[in-house]
Structure 1
Amino acid sequence: MHPASNLLQTAPDPALPASLPGMAQALDVSDCAIVITDEQRRIVYVNAGFQRLFGYTLQEAHGRRPRDLLLNMPSVKDSLSHIEELLASQGRFTGEALAFHRNGDPIWVSLAINIHPAPLPAPGESRAPGCAVLTFTDLTLTKLHEALQSRVLEAMVHEVPLPQLMTLVCQEVERMAPDVIASVLRVDANGQLHALSAPSLPHALSMLIDGKAIGPQAGSCGTAAYRGEPVVVTDIASDPLWQDYHPRFTAMGIRACWSSPIKNREGRVVGTFAFYFREPVGPNSLHRRLVEVCLQLCTLAMERETAQNRIHQLAYYDTLTHLPNRTLFTDCAQRALLTLGQTTQPQAALLFVDLDRFKLVNDSQGHAAGDALLCEIASRLRQQLRPQDLVGRLSSDEFVLMLPGETATQAIATAQRLLDSIAQPFDHQGMQHRPQACIGIALYPADGSNIRTLLRHADQAMQAAKKQPNAHWCRFSPELSVQAHERVVMEHDLREAIAQRHLHLHYQPQVLSQAVGRLHGVEALARWNHPVWGAVSPARFIALAEDSSLIQDLTRWLLEAACAQMARWRKARLPVPQLAINLSARNFHDPQLAEQVQAALTRHGLQPHDLVLEITESVMMDASAAAVANLHKLNVMGLQLSLDDFGTGYSSLSHLHRLPISELKLDQSFVRDLESSPAATALIRSVLSIARSLGMKVVAEGVETREQSEWLQRHGCAVMQGYLFCRPVSAAQLEYWLRAQSAKTTGA
């Protein structure tokens, strides 16, 4: 017996080289597993770390070969052959290997083998192979962290798509546990399974699972997802959970399956992670550690994809209607045009849809009603489209449709069909709406070769449709483009005119009907003389200001100019009782409106009763916080409010009673028809009766004949305004008119 054997406390008859010192006690406290073999590669010594790592005592390991004891598994035959080749050629090996515990659990180790040369032989004898020292270091946790977590997390950083990411997880797992086949499934919102990755599972089996519903008896994966807890089936051929699936799986060599649910941070099952086995066995400790790490990685990867999808949804889809937004629609439509351009008959239609009076719904019924209406319109548009058509929402109440292959005739028919669908009654919380819309039509390639040009031209056609009294659709024509260009030029020039104070005011008297010639007040009316176009219609440039961002600037100029003129009249002691100015509905959305009015009055030394603010019925119906606050502040300040164009909009007695309105202005269209329309006379009588009951004055606009004046006077209309008395005139002309009227009443 070799003397060193006693020092290392080996079993009898080992032949240890004399060069190894007696360090048994020191070796036993090492975390590494250390093995010494004799010249025949049989174990003669193991330290205590060996027993801790592999579970074998010295007596159980003595005399056995390490390869037979720890490495003799079919799954590692290739790596074992590689180790043998290096030992034979180099006398040593350093690397990673998959070893196995006494109970069969796999253990990844760092393995170092060194062959200790035997003593030199006597002359004429061959040299013995020598003993070997093997050192095993447990790498299982390191492998899980570095080889699995690090690679997967790095792939996430590089934004690898989820299916490829799950394939990476499965491949890494199968490399560390060669006896398993890994699989990842997704569970959709309807409780159906969908294959994400199973690189080693036969494709036919993946397709067998895809689309199946989870349930209490749906194999390992479907049941684990249903229960929300792991399911271990060690023999799928006999387990009732697999009765619908086992023939196909067993025929392809799959005998067992362990599936665990993947849950998101809210605890909802979003997928499953499964190990399939080729033998009827259950998971070992390595499998459990792998699954623990993989479930965390799968959860992280799926939540990352959910977050990315959410970001994509927010970036490219309208959050209310879930239609593509302008960015996505434009991109998809342009690609569709490129595809059409390669066909023999490239043609398409673009329809620009704009809802009429949508703001009125928002203001009168609240944003919830407006949102519900938009969602309903989006649904109606979808229902009218073919699979190849595109639809998107561009802005608040604007939608757009791309209709590949449609001719002008077909596009017009589609537009009419859409208008009919939109016009169907819509009920929301007991209120019925009858939506209306206007549609502009542009054709590809006649009206544009790219989506941006088509959108611009379809928008111009829609704007033209809104101006037509009886038609709700319009096809683009080059003349519309010219008009749109003129509109841009006019907006620029109007901006300059406001900034340079090139606008001016005219004034039209309002007279008392019971004392014709006696002044009730005057109305200030904006005028614009363009150096090229001459006198621009107020209806045209004020509408332009309201549609653009200029209305606030125009109103500030109007307020300042009117108050300055009223102050001059007061200083000159001219008998102008009050001055009326018109405000836009958009002005009331400015939180500072009331403060601006008060500042103008103060700046020019005027009192609140010097000014009358004429508002439209849309202001009265506006339920927005800013509009309500402004009306309240103006009333508290003592400003008089006059309701302009009464009877032409959507007034209601409830609003008239609730708001601080002091007078109603009867629209000139009723006065004009006074002598020819019984309906007009009946309506005027009703307005006069309502005004009397509410203590309001009525101002009749557009009085042009003496017969109209006399009829209004007989029926109690307090104030009249129109060409019969005086046209809108400059301040100097109004002063002349006032002196003339004074001379008439005094008989001078």
Structure 2
Amino acid sequence: MLGTFALYSKEVRRPTEHEMKLVALATHIAGIAIERKRVDDRIHFMAHHDDLTGLPNRAFLKERLANILDQARRHNRKVTVAYIDLDNFKDINDGRGHAAGDEVLKEVATRMANSVRASDMVVRLGGDEFLVVLVHQSSHDAGITRRLRELQKAINRPIRGEDGEVIVTSSIGVAAFPFDGATSEELLANADRAMYRAKELGRNTLQHHDAGGAPVGMPLGEQEELHQAITGDQLFLQYQPQVDVATGRITGLEALVRWNHPAKGRVPPVNFIPLAEETGLIVPLGLWVLNEACRQARSWQDMGLTPLTIAVNVSAKQFADPDFSKHVAEALERHGLQPRWLELEVTESVVMQDAERALAMMESLRGLGVRLSIDDFGSGYSSLAALKTFPFDRLKMDRSLVEALPGDKTAVAIVSAVISLAQTLKLSVLAEGVETDDQMDFLRQARCDEAQGYRFSRPVSPEEIVVLLKAGSL
């Protein structure tokens, strides 16, 4: 309501013609004022909001963020800003057209807006860049990192389009007021730097600004400690032998990464591998493992020991890196290891995420001369199409199938079928998690090629491997 216009009379009567004209004139003027207010509001909205997504824009952010920080300063509260960049968005525009790209941006914007509180703000900075401002509800809000990871998961959900599903990932850089900046400009600049660090670490990751305080909502220094472990000589490899089922002869080794923390001692892989995968540190960690395994394999050969295949696990983020094949070639060349002595293990879920791209990557790796194995086969939904489609050399049967042998009839039937199928497809078969003589006897009768597990040896140091290799068999 802009105001009221009233005519009063001392007696009950009909309005005169003059009075009716006054009312009509006032109504007309009010209509003009209302329409002008609507136009002004629309102009203001358009000036402060993105035309495509309807989100606030950079101009709106500039006005509001200074006020938000001022309020936070007065009430001793924190404010977290997350700089979000969609990974490889240019590929969507180039491959599917700008109209499809616009639909993706609108859907991502909607998901982000639905993932934050009413007190928070989602801004489109331009192109494929967004900013989320999270206002903490107290001076200590430990749930911020969890909320940002949930936001990233929402972005990552497949988007259905006319040409099929589109997978979008994001790199997120985080900075917190007042630790990472006292002004809007400082806060945004540090969040932007953290975002570029997330890009450098393999994309689809969340990185906190690494100066001026501990990451918001995370255990003190946990992520930074792991980063220092990768770069600071705290990691080491142990190796678990793989043996020929028929002869007991050692045929290969699987490289397994371990962390010797300077204060906490040995950190179990289950405590740091998920963190590495979540933060994107799995990419530099995996590259370190690849190089160290190649170096150690060549070192054993230089000692005069019989050459063995070294198996290295490859994470989804590593495999998605377009330069992964180049990294493998560089590692082999750097340490003088012949490609036939390196085996790369990938799970079915990794190659099935984008079958066409995975096939191209595997062909590139096969071109180098390295071996490829499908890991953890049978651990969940296993597609026979994966065995037929992709150029694997070996199938590694998951321990969940092996541990039920030989007493479980269902496990016996499944394992026998898997071994038979693999042999038909000319794949060698390795059984993981073998712990008992009964399991070994069954695998021998079923004509499984190789086995690995505590029945033969736990993962051991390179020095202990030398002793085992000189002994000849297990």
Specify the TM-score bucket, using the shorter chain as the normaliser: 0.5 to 0.7
Equivalent residue, structure 2, for 1:219: none
Q: CA deviation at 1:715?
A: 3.7
What SS class does the counterpart of residue 483 from structure 1 fall into?
coil
Indicate if the aligned counterparts of 2:297 and 2:308 stay in contact, CA closer than 8 A: no
2:255 is aligned, of 517, 524, 530, to 524
**1:488 and 2:190 matched:** no
Equivalent residue runs for 1:663-678 within 5 Å:
663-674=394-405
What SS class does the counterpart of residue 564 from structure 1 fall into?
helix
Equivalent residue, structure 2, for 1:708: 439
Distance 1:599 1:675, change over 3 A: same
Equivalent residue runs for 1:6-405 within 5 Å:
203-204=29-30, 206-207=32-33, 309=47, 323-324=55-56, 332=64, 335=67, 375-376=106-107, 378-379=109-110, 390-391=121-122
Equivalent residue runs for 1:690-709 within 5 Å:
690-709=421-440
**1:740 and 2:471 matched:** yes
Q: Which amino acid aligns with 1:642?
A: S
Deviations 1:293-312 (A, max 9, x none): xxxxxxxxx9xx99x95xx7
Q: Residues of 2 paired with 1:212 and 1:334: CA distance? A: 27
Distance 1:371 1:695, change over 3 A: farther
Gap runs ≥5 in structure 2: 1-27, 169-182, 192-213
Deviations 1:191-229 (A, max 9, x none): xxxxxxxxxxx954634765999xxxxxxxxxxxxxxxx
Equivalent residue, structure 2, for 1:533: 264
Q: Which amino acid aligns with 1:514?
A: A
**1:579 and 2:321 matched:** no
Q: Residues of 2 paired with 1:404 and 1:430: CA distance? A: 40
Q: Residues of 1 paired with 2:449 and 2:420: CA distance? A: 12
What SS class does the counterpart of residue 695 from structure 1 fall into?
coil
Q: Residues of 2 paired with 1:333 and 1:559: CA distance? A: 45
2:295 is aligned, of 544, 561, 564, to 564
Q: Residues of 2 paired with 1:514 and 1:327: CA distance? A: 72
Deviations 1:449-507 (A, max 9, x none): x998xxx9xxxxxxxxxxxxxxxxxxxxx99946243332332343222xxxx533322
Q: Residues of 2 paired with 1:403 and 1:486: CA distance? A: 24
Q: CA deviation at 1:612?
A: 0.9
Distance 1:667 1:429, change over 3 A: farther
What SS class does the counterpart of residue 448 from structure 2 fall into?
coil
TM-score, normalised by the number of residues in structure 2: 0.60
Gap runs ≥5 in structure 1: 1-201, 214-301, 436-449, 457-477
Q: Residues of 1 paired with 2:300 and 2:351: CA distance? A: 31
**1:601 and 2:337 matched:** no
Indicate if the aligned counterparts of 1:621 and 1:651 stay in contact, CA closer than 8 A: no
2:238 is aligned, of 506, 510, 518, to 506
Q: Residues of 2 paired with 1:650 and 1:396: CA distance? A: 35
Q: Residues of 1 paired with 2:431 and 2:67: CA distance? A: 58
Q: Which amino acid aligns with 1:483?
A: P
What SS class does the counterpart of residue 246 from structure 2 fall into?
helix
Deviations 1:159-195 (A, max 9, x none): xxxxxxxxxxxxxxxxxxxxxxxxxxxxxxxxxxxxx
Q: CA deviation at 1:518?
A: 1.7
Distance 1:347 1:581, change over 3 A: closer
Indicate if the aligned counterparts of 2:373 and 2:392 stay in contact, CA closer than 8 A: yes
Q: Residues of 2 paired with 1:526 and 1:616: CA distance? A: 17
Indicate if the aligned counterparts of 1:505 and 1:526 stay in contact, CA closer than 8 A: yes
The percentage of counterpart residues that share the same residue type is: 36
Equivalent residue, structure 1, for 2:348: 617
Equivalent residue, structure 2, for 1:638: 369
Indicate if the aligned counterparts of 1:578 and 1:611 stay in contact, CA closer than 8 A: yes
Deviations 1:540-594 (A, max 9, x none): 4444444556545444443333233323333444334322122333333444433
Equivalent residue, structure 1, for 2:392: 661
Q: Which amino acid aligns with 1:490?
A: L
Q: Residues of 1 paired with 2:218 and 2:31: CA distance? A: 64
Q: Which amino acid aligns with 1:665?
A: K
Distance 1:348 1:707, change over 3 A: same
Q: CA deviation at 1:722?
A: 0.6
Distance 1:700 1:392, change over 3 A: farther
Q: CA deviation at 1:736?
A: 1.5
What SS class does the counterpart of residue 458 from structure 2 fall into?
coil
Distance 1:554 1:493, change over 3 A: closer
Distance 1:389 1:492, change over 3 A: closer
Distance 1:514 1:482, change over 3 A: same
Q: Residues of 2 paired with 1:370 and 1:682: CA distance? A: 49
What SS class does the counterpart of residue 305 from structure 2 fall into?
coil
Q: Residues of 2 paired with 1:649 and 1:397: CA distance? A: 37
Q: CA deviation at 1:636?
A: 1.6
Q: CA deviation at 1:523?
A: 1.3
Q: Which amino acid aligns with 1:533?
A: K
Q: Which amino acid aligns with 1:206?
A: I
Indicate if the aligned counterparts of 1:349 and 1:405 stay in contact, CA closer than 8 A: no
Q: Residues of 2 paired with 1:575 and 1:338: CA distance? A: 69
Q: Which amino acid aligns with 2:225?
A: V
Q: Which amino acid aligns with 1:621?
A: M
Q: CA deviation at 1:321?
A: 5.2
Q: CA deviation at 1:706?
A: 2.3
